Amino acid sequence: MAGRLEGKRAIISGGSRGIGAAIARAYAAEGAKVVISSRKQPGLDAVAEAINADYPDSVIPMTCHIGYPEQIEEFIQQVEEKIGRPHILVNNAATNPYFGPMLQIEPTAFQKTFDVNVKGYFEMTRFVVQRWLANDEPGAVVNVSSVVGLRGAPFQGVYAMTKAAIISMTQTLSIELGEANIRVNAIAPGLVDTHFASAIVQNPDMSKMFTDKSALKRYAQPEEIAGAAVFLGSDEASYITGQTLAVDGGYTTV
């Protein structure tokens, strides 16, 4: 039986661990050919080796720092040379260099957060979508945002600002690109057990603040986010665009 992404080609940024690695595995399991990217090659190689052991020749690891647009353009060109134009773009790479009172963030940390989390997503989308438009091809963009983009987020204020911006970008691009049959959606994960969120997950008091407010009373594993990315990238979601799917254990119902 063919997978839901059989014959599809995808780019997944931030694919060296956590949610990105889980999405890459789920895409490979559904038949997609995947290029994963992040800043450093060793982590990418390890993820690709592990997934390819189960789904041979499904994942290609390639470095790209999405905070630098010149790297993105070269990266997209290399992806096309290796696997052809992608059908799906999953923007997942992110950074959060500061945790603390919002007004105390240093300007360099503020700029870095926006360069990667907003500008990086935008430029990745721009370079991929321009190729779809030039060739009159459909496509799907899946942006990984966060529930902190939907709610107030003490001590994560600037990071939350970038995640809210992603949701806004998702909505606007869905309108502008809809007639071209290019869908743009977002996922808003709640607290997930990843290295990225380890400062919260590994602090019992802080993690309890989240889990107490969620209907399921727990945080997620990365694999529990991946299914939403498969769905939104697949033809099953062919009439869904401009939406933000909260995968948060019911956190945003409160």
As annotated, the active-site residues are: 159
Torsion of CA 93, 125, 117, 229, to 10 degrees: -50
Q: Which residues of 191-203 are buried (b: 16+ CB within 10 A; e: fewer)?
A: bbbbebbeebbee
> Residue 242: which of 186, 202, 161, 166 has the closest Cα?
186
> Residue 142: which of 80, 226, 79 has the closest Cα?
226
> Residue 168: which of 189, 186, 180, 147 has the closest Cα?
186
Specify the DSSP class assigned to residue 178.
Answer: G
Q: What does the block give as tokens for 165?
A: 């911006």
Q: Which helix (H) or strand (E) holds 37?
A: strand 33-38
> Residue 180: which of 213, 147, 135, 217 has the closest Cα?
135
